[in-house]
Amino acid sequence: MNINYEKNQIMVYGKAIKYDMFIKKLSELSGEQIYGFFNSRGIMLPRMMNCFALISVLNNKIKFLHSNSLTKDYFVRLQHYSSFTETQLENLFLALNPTSEDFSQYRFNLMKLIVDNYEALDINDGEITYLKNLKKTKIKGFEEYCGYVSAACLEQPGTFDGSLIEDLKKDLMFTATNQEIILIGEKYGITVPERLQKDEYVGFIKYYLSQQGRLTEEADEVLDEMSINGLSIYAKREGIPMQPAMSKDDLVTYLFYILEQCEIPYSTVSQIVYDESIYKPLEFTIDLSAITPFGNGDAKKIIHYQGEEADSEEFNKMLDLINNPVEIVEEPVEEKVEELPAVEIERPLKPGETKAVLEELKKEPIKEEPKPQEIKIEQAPVKKEVVVPLKDKLGIDINSTIPNEQYALKEKKLFKNSRSKNITICVFAGLIVILAGVALGIAIL
């Protein structure tokens, strides 16, 4: 395998492949696939390689931070960004609201480091081809991906969690929260309690005294019999830097107390090849005075670094958008109704008609039939009907009812106070008059 950066080529089995496209292909592997590959071959990645990949993306994110991006406490700790551990870099990546593009860039830069260091990692053409041809699986998210990559990493001599161990104890005091110190311990199977139990406290005191050559047989026996409060008083009197309710200093001290008793496995890679312009931590200063004492206030420039003038126009546009948000009103989208082409339906042939005759008839211009003449009918004015009360018209009291066995009580109630009742009474009244007239005529005869 050979890389020609000027021609943007990588030679695999003597075949030239575009370097950037090759890296892009490898960046589509899941974290689980990366872990499986390195774990199976026994040559693990150096942890600082993953730290460099995280830093390469964080550098560009930090450039555009403003006074409202993080808390003041976080900005104070961010001043020591160059000494962040892998755990702290992961937490910062999440705190800066990463986009999918940030996540993709992190994966690309990580795979670029792996390929660029193929000799130190002893990766041959067959293995790199195997990785390239692996069937891609779903990449679920940054935390899971980074977790698998971290599990595929080992420390280099003199480092812990990707940072130089000689400076780490001091750096953690300035850069880490209490919770981050506990998380760093958990990551490597070290329990760092927020409050020590008696046996934990006794163990630490004895270890501390032993390291100084001050642990006697008498002290060894006395310490076992002391209460937790007695141990606290004893530690203060003897200048032992530990109390049961642990401060940040105590947490760091306890973490390193356990580390000193651990055997840390190391990566075989002693040196990492990388482009400093991409992977080196950004050097910057933070203007803490830009942070308002109460509330968020307007977003202001807070990060200053060499070459910031080149990014000033883009940064000012971002600030203006944050401080003067523009409400975007979506215009309704008019749905266009597509007109379907007219379809000519073939009519059936008439008796004695041939297809040739029908085709000739189609060619003849269609005569428009005259529109029927509209006939206006003048309506006679409607006479307004004068409503005469039924009682006056027929001489019958409509409110009085005569019992009729042919109708049940229910029907009577339905007729009462309705127009149907009035019509029914009219019909019966007319019959009575007619019958009376017939009877009178028969009597005269």
Domain-embedded: residue 252: no
Domain-embedded: residue 240: yes
Domain-embedded: residue 253: no
Domain-embedded: residue 378: no
Q: State residue 413's pLDDT score.
A: 35
Q: How many domains does the chain have?
A: 3
End position of a domain, from candidates 295, 323, 351:
323
Q: What is the percentage of the chain residues whose pLDDT exceeds 90?
A: 66
pLDDT over 60 (residue 67): yes
Domain-embedded: residue 104: yes
pLDDT digits 0-9 by tens, 366-399: 555 555 555 454 544 444 444 444 444 444 443 4
Shared domain check, 109 and 43:
yes
Residue 311 vs residues 60, 64, 99, 232, 303: alpha-carbon distances, Å: 10, 9, 19, 54, 12
CA distance 216 to 209: 9
CA distance 26 to 44: 17
Other C-beta atoms closer than 10 Å to the C-beta of 58 total: 21
- Band (pLDDT 50/70/90 cuts) for residue 236 is very high
- Are 48 and 272 in contact by the 8 Å Cβ rule? The answer is yes
Residue 238 vs residues 71, 203, 205, 253: alpha-carbon distances, Å: 39, 15, 10, 16
Q: State residue 294's pLDDT score.
A: 74
Shared domain check, 146 and 84:
yes
Shared domain check, 129 and 63:
yes
Domain-embedded: residue 427: yes
Other C-beta atoms closer than 10 Å to the C-beta of 40 total: 8
Other C-beta atoms closer than 10 Å to the C-beta of 171 total: 19
Shared domain check, 301 and 232:
no
Residue 45's domain spans which residues?
2-157+266-323
- Are 312 and 294 in contact by the 8 Å Cβ rule? The answer is no
Shared domain check, 230 and 95:
no
Which residue type, as a one-letter code, is found at position 117? N
Average pLDDT over residues 255-276: 92
Shared domain check, 216 and 274:
no
Q: State residue 297's pLDDT score.
A: 83
Shared domain check, 305 and 218:
no
Shared domain check, 276 and 228:
no
pLDDT over 80 (residue 425): no
Q: What is the percentage of the chain residues whose pLDDT exceeds 70?
A: 73
- Are 156 and 266 in contact by the 8 Å Cβ rule? The answer is yes
Shared domain check, 106 and 77:
yes
pLDDT digits 0-9 by tens, 170-187: 999 999 999 999 999 999
Domain-embedded: residue 367: no
Domain-embedded: residue 179: no
DSSP string, 101-140: HHHHHHHHHHHHHHHHTTTTTT--HHHHHHHHHSPP----
Shared domain check, 241 and 289:
no
Q: State residue 131's pLDDT score.
A: 94
pLDDT over 90 (residue 417): no
DSSP 288: G
Shared domain check, 76 and 19:
yes
End position of a domain, from candidates 287, 304, 323:
323
Determine if the pTM surpasses 0.85: no
CA distance 172 to 162: 13
Highest mean pLDDT among 248-257, 315-324, 375-384, 422-431: 248-257
Shared domain check, 53 and 98:
yes
